[in-house]
Amino acid sequence: MKKEEFEFFIQQREKTSEKTVEKTVEKTSEKTSEKTSEKTSEKSSQKILALIADNKNITIEEIAIFTDLTTRAVKKNISKLKQEGKIKRIGPDKGGYWEVVE
């Protein structure tokens, strides 16, 4: 094998290694962020359930303050909890209350 061929071979090998490392890092980052958001969401849902159990008349704004979440995030978590059958809303938005089903 000539020197030029050998150098070319080494360069190609390095490029392949770099691509493999990049892909591995990318996949690992995606998996880690997915797991982190799942855990965070579960913790938020548990906090929301505890707040509702403690005060059935609590508002979304109050939940947002106690949990350090945005009202949008609270609404999203409440929607998820409703779908899972863990809470339900009794009565209208104004004048109604929350019920923990569990």
CATH topology of domain 3-100: Arc Repressor Mutant, subunit A (1.10.10)
Residues near 44 by Cβ (< 8 Å), separated by ≥ 6?
A: 67, 69, 73, 77
Decide if pLDDT at 79 tops 90. yes
Q: DSSP letter for 87, please.
A: E
Cα-Cα-Cα-Cα dihedral sign, residues 54, 62, 59, 74: negative
Instruction: Identify the CA nearest to 102 among candidates 59, 64, 50.
Output: 50
Map tokens 């949008």 to a residue.
72
**Tell me, what amino acid is at 26?**
E
Region 56-63: mean pLDDT is 94
Region 76-91: mean pLDDT is 95
Number of neighbouring beta carbons within 10 Å of residue 15: 10
